[in-house]
Amino acid sequence: MPSIFHRLTENITAIDLQFQGRPAAIASYLFYDGNAAALIETGPTTTVETLIEGVQAAGVPLEALRQVIVTHIHLDHAGAAGSLVRRFPWLKVYVHPVGAPHLADPSKLLASAARLYGDQLGSLWGPVLPVPPENLVVVNDSDVIQIPGTSLRALDTPGHARHHHAYLDPRSGLLFTGDVAGVRMPGARYVRPPTPPPELDIEAWAASIARLRAVQATGLFLTHFGLFRGDLDWHWNDLERRLIDWGEIVRTGIAQGANDDQVLQRMKRQLATEIESAHVDPRAYDVAVSYESVVAGYVRYWKKKATRM
């Protein structure tokens, strides 16, 4: 079995949550200064035991965990927050103000996820427990959070979701991007935009990309998956081009009268061609973001735009 933890910097460790038994699908990032520890991203409840095992394998005592920071509240990023707080009741969970009520009461979040995942909801994500309000810390745009060994500045970055933050470590210039910087597998030069419903907003996402470009980060920590340095202009360009191009494919299909399944088949052909040209393993990307969720997000986006016109 591949290692579930990877020391990336002196005080940052990536924990590979081995989602669905597959490496490099979902990462949690662990900070530890020898006294206290913090996590960015929890992953889903189905991988919480792997997360805890990874913390211990990295040499961090569980009682040192103090903070959990989630970039947004989708289940692959924050689904295990309530389970962690139940196990470690002293934990504080830092979350976007739009997302905080849904961690306290996840019923609406689960209803939305059920529409997308159907009867696979439980097997993919596991039970989603509420986070007690007293354990929640609401983080606003530009707030600075002190964590072990450094600090993080929150950057409001909608587009993938309204409740999305990226987090910048101003000392190192490293940026924790959640989903706003897309999905990219280690060693690959191919960035896939994760565009699930219901909150995809192409214009807002493009503005978020512009904001994060201006940060001039030294490296990007993607939840899906890992640390990328050295080709960041290319990375942003590849993501933004594909975000817009895929939107046009779906918009054109809808305008031509194609139904949702026909649009899905068009996108599957497009994605298969792109993946083949990029010489990457499609299965790794498909675990992190499926064809179906990509198309469903665009279809909902364009239909919402049509009703506003």
Domains of the chain listed by start with CATH number: 5-240 (3.60.15.10)
pLDDT of residue 188: 92
What is the pLDDT confidence band of residue 276, given thresholds at 50, 70 and 90? confident
Q: Provide mean pLDDT across the span 210-232.
A: 97
Q: What is the pLDDT of residue 1?
A: 44
Mean pLDDT in residue range 177-184? 98
Q: Residue 20's pLDDT is what?
A: 93
Q: How many angstroms separate the CA atoms of 271 and 277, rounded?
A: 10
309: pLDDT strictly greater than 70: no
Phi and psi torsions of 161, nearest 5°: -155, 155
Higher-confidence residue of 251 and 291: namely 251
Using pLDDT thresholds of 50, 70 and 90, give the confidence band for residue 283.
confident
**Residue 306 pLDDT exceeds 90:** no
In tens, the pLDDT along 63-90 reads 999 999 999 999 999 999 999 999 999 9
The pLDDT assigned to 10 comes to 84
Pairing mode, if any, of strands 92-95 and 65-69?
Answer: parallel
Would you state the pLDDT for residue 305?
86
What is the model's pTM?
0.95
Q: Give the mean pLDDT of 198-227.
A: 97
Q: Which residues pair with 85 in a beta bridge?
A: none
Q: Is the confidence at residue 307, as pLDDT, over 80?
A: no
Q: What integer best gives the mean pLDDT of the chain? A: 94
Q: What is the mean pLDDT of residues 139-165?
A: 98
pLDDT, tens digit, for every residue of 154-164? Answer: 999 999 999 99
Q: 53: which 2 tokens?
A: 């095992």
Mean pLDDT of 164-183: 97
The mean pLDDT of 145-160, rounded to a whole number, is 98
For residue 105, pLDDT over 50 is answered with: yes
Residue-level pLDDT at 3: 64
pLDDT in tens, 43-56: 999 999 999 999 99
